[in-house]
Structure 1
């Protein structure tokens, strides 16, 4: 059935910004349900206090619920399968209803079976596998270790797989079209805190035909350069303080940063000079 055939009112049921992870056929099943008619899943032990949802509540107030929750019918109500945080945030934000997709238990079982079967297909690309794992997480609120157990894989394997979904859009498109390999993609991911370098690396891979090894060498050099720049910035900040301390104490002073803080090293020639330094700092 076409979207137009459903009537003008159908558009009011589906926010235009609905998350792209929803399948096209699912968009036509979105309906608004009263929040009061929805109950959480008692089998989901994790509960978050309202103050843990502050950011999500603020987002819901500004933009509404962008991705429908998944529910099943249960004892005259609707029980949440996936999306409890969104439901709680909408409730706290004062919303009366929420977009939802109602599924049957049989449909959920079949969908779960299909997704697991798809992940295990040999011809499925790593990105397609990552999307399938992500959908299992979203549709069934499954943790990675639970999915790993169903698939007979190590949780770390799935964790590394789903990280592909964190790629910049351009890199994800290149991976999907086969223009870069999974190895290239992982090299790009290693620069997740250096977005400009990610773009530069992708350009070199696509235009210069770089191998995975060349991409990894670029990553090492880029990180080394970033660490050096950070160290220089720290030195620039410390230098004036060092000079001020040396002027006050009349001796050489060194400030050294460590993983857990740092050290202030004060040099002295003998016990007499140490006593003078102690006096100056009020010891």
Structure 2
């Protein structure tokens, strides 16, 4: 079967098209003929060797797929690698049948990024209608869904995006105000101006100066959920700032919810229902062929994409 392999850690050039045997079907698992494989920042970190749960090389990247089971039913599934291939073997407890009427591209957007947005807002931050929520990368896969989910919950939503086009997209998704996040200089002031004061809850996935600017924009007793560090910049959390403002900073990594399917069952049911009801509209991004995985990684890392980025195995 056709697949993309990483034989050594590095840049996009290490993504190599290859032929390999069909993966073995293990007990408790499901074999899917892959239609779509999601492309995420997690794949980039995995390729670079900086993922929280690194994999030894060689491996096939891709932590989410949409595919057809041997009985003809359509599933989305979360996995630990293996998605960039014509056939994927996934654990049954991390596979969810896609309801009729939900398009393939919409369903794959809900898999990793939809679940992440849902649990960041409602499991970690416990957002309610009383909150003002700051959403970064609001035209991206997680951000575009988080804007809509938070708005539907009644919160005031302040969206950040790095370009005028992306800020217009965030407004169209329902954001109450938008902030230019193209540079960290003066970012706290721009957030406070857009929000009309401090925000009570915020998502963060950039790291470095953007993390500190976001933390500074939090109200006393505000909550900040960190789910990535795109810049790769690590720094000390300013303890004095946390104490002075009674602020809370938490980390979130979706795979920590995998051992118990209960949380994912709840979020998947809610996400499917929201799309079926029409108020949640996944933002479909660019579609690449399997052999264009290098380009997909380059474009995502360079922030040239909006919405859900996928590899189409049928192309």
How high is the TM-score relative to the length of structure 2? 0.26
* Larger relative contact order (CA 8 Å, sep ≥ 6): 2
How high is the TM-score relative to the length of structure 1? 0.28
Structure with max Cα Rg: 1
Structure in which a larger fraction of residues adopt strand: 2
Structure in which a larger fraction of residues adopt helix: 1
